[in-house]
Structure 1
């Protein structure tokens, strides 16, 4: 594989890993906010996972901007993340519990993750045949 092709594969693999980390940490945040009963630990623990998710979001956003991938399936997860983060913030900062909206945005985020992940994996399959 050429050097440029190898770099592209490495970069897209890194982007996929960032998406996977973001997804796992958003799922953990959601589970803690919805299912955790210890109010003293609930918000600090959820905030920790949300911070980890936001770190992955920031790195993915920089990558997409740097590599001119805007308006692609790669960016859908970033838009969905911003929406679910607003709902998390409403709950954790303002104590405004709108479970219906949070659940909808969480499901939209999960769907965007699956779409972005499939798009990346299909490109990686073409670039790196098994």
Structure 2
């Protein structure tokens, strides 16, 4: 799925601090990575549901990490919390609505409950600072 691919690639670029990075016809630099990542999070609504289900734990973990530990670029904290939260809420809403037959007797989605029970962990370690 191109939407997930772009999101995971941009998160990788941030984690590895590998600037500049060529992504198709766009060169990702420190100056435009925030806007590109926000746009890719907003575009996740166009991702195929079955692909999102397959990569649910990686997708949710990366979004939570962006909320809890926002990246630092050139000494500035990049505020991606709102965009990450909105993308996460959209993803949860899509799964809850489109996988209605997959709910327990309390109305909870089994896939999301399993993610919380088995995969979720709150990131506790501080992210590594980018090289100076």
What TM-score do you get using the length of structure 1 for normalisation? 0.36
| Higher normalized contact order (CA 8 Å, seq sep 6+, divided by chain length) | 1
What TM-score do you get using the length of structure 2 for normalisation? 0.35
Whichever structure has more strand as a proportion of its residues is 2
